[in-house]
């Protein structure tokens, strides 16, 4: 075990912060309605860390595209 309490190569994320960022990105991209945030977070809670990171990256790309970047 590594000194920080995690196994080497283990993905460790702050799930709540990541889910909030995903939702904010999707709202800004016009993909998610603010009223649907809680329902979508319930779905995101079922994802493993790798799936969650993939969705985070995609949400960031969608937000950038919507902002003209």
- State the pLDDT at residue 15: 96
pLDDT in tens, 53-67: 999 999 999 999 999
What angle, rounded to 10 degrees, do the helices at 49-66 and 15-28 form? 30
What are the structure tokens assigned to 8, written together? 């080497």
Full-model pTM: 0.85
- State the pLDDT at residue 1: 44
pLDDT of 27 > 80? The answer is yes
> Nearest to residue 20, comparing CAs of 12, 8, 10, 28?
28
């Amino acid at each position: 075990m590594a000194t920080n309490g995690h196994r080497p190569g283990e993905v460790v994320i702050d799930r709540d912060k990541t889910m909030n960022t995903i939702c904010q990105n999707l709202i800004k991209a016009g993909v998610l309605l603010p009223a649907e945030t809680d329902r979508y977070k319930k779905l995101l809670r079922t994802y493993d860390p790798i799936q969650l990171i993939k969705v985070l990256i995609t949400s960031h790309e969608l937000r950038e595209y919507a902002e003209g970047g």
